[in-house]
Amino acid sequence: MECVIYEKKNRIAYITLNRPRALNALDRQLNTALWKVWADFSRDDSLEVAILTGAGRAFCSGADLNTVIPRWEKAGAADLRQNIRTGIGGGITRGQHWLRKPVIAAVNGIAVGGGFELALACDIRVMADDALFGVFEVRYGLHQGDGGIVRLAAIAGMGTALDLTLTGREVDAAEAYRLGLASRVVPGENLMATAEKYAAMIMGNGRRAVRSAKETILDTMGRSLDDALRIETVNAYSCLGDFTPE
């Protein structure tokens, strides 16, 4: 059985984590497969948006602790340096995080630990009403190391990042929406259709403008106001002329 299902339809890449018996936990095989998927999605000019979800009753339960913890308990400095280049989720959290095309997370079931980090690395999160987030790493003597702290603070603010990270508590879909961690919360049966509606809205806009806007948002984070304004104006005015109404 393939650990990732990768389908292309109507300019959308459908990416499904496919380890349902392990609640789609991220092991080395799944991370390697996802790396290839994200690289192909980036190169394929026929694709404009990706929708990421999980098979079965979970989005992603995080790193596969049976393989990850033993690996890092025995890791040396060279292993740590190599890890900087790759991250988890096939590099979407770190390594291929400069992906210019939008990615929508259709969060079904739990997205905890590394699964929460994976969802945060997506650009838009749509949640089923029974889904939940959680920084579960702290329950195992770890904390986020693949963009979870950085993105959580950027998306929801330092107070929320401290709250969720230090407590390791569950966050249901209603609270996730209130905290700005989810764009929409819908019944599970409407999850994929809602994600596709977001994809359609994105694809109805100028392709170059969408990609430039995402790049600009990522590139201006943490910069001084003057630097951010310079980047915004250069990027905005250089993408003019791309839009042709359909």
Asked if 87 and 97 touch (Cβ cutoff 8 Å), the reply is: yes
Tell me whether strands 132-134 and 184-186 are parallel, antiparallel or unpaired. unpaired
Asked if 221 and 186 touch (Cβ cutoff 8 Å), the reply is: no
- Cα(176)–Cα(224) distance, rounded to whole angstroms? 29
Q: Spot the catalytic one: 117, 189, 215, 246.
A: 117
Q: Spot the catalytic one: 2, 137, 170, 189.
A: 137
117 catalytic, yes or no? yes
Q: So what's the pLDDT on residue 246?
A: 42
The tokens for 74 are 């025995």
Q: So what's the pLDDT on residue 32?
A: 92
137 catalytic, yes or no? yes
Q: So what's the pLDDT on residue 72?
A: 61
Q: So what's the pLDDT on residue 242?
A: 54
Beta-bridged to residue 53, according to DSSP, are 16
Determine the CATH number of domain 4-202.
Answer: 3.90.226.10
pLDDT along the chain (246 residues), means of 10: 94 97 93 94 97 97 75 68 75 88 97 96 98 93 88 96 96 98 98 98 95 93 93 89 50
Answering whether pTM is above 0.85, one says yes
Q: So what's the pLDDT on residue 73?
A: 63
Angle made by CA atoms 135, 139, 143, in degrees to the nearest 5 = 55
Q: So what's the pLDDT on residue 50?
A: 98
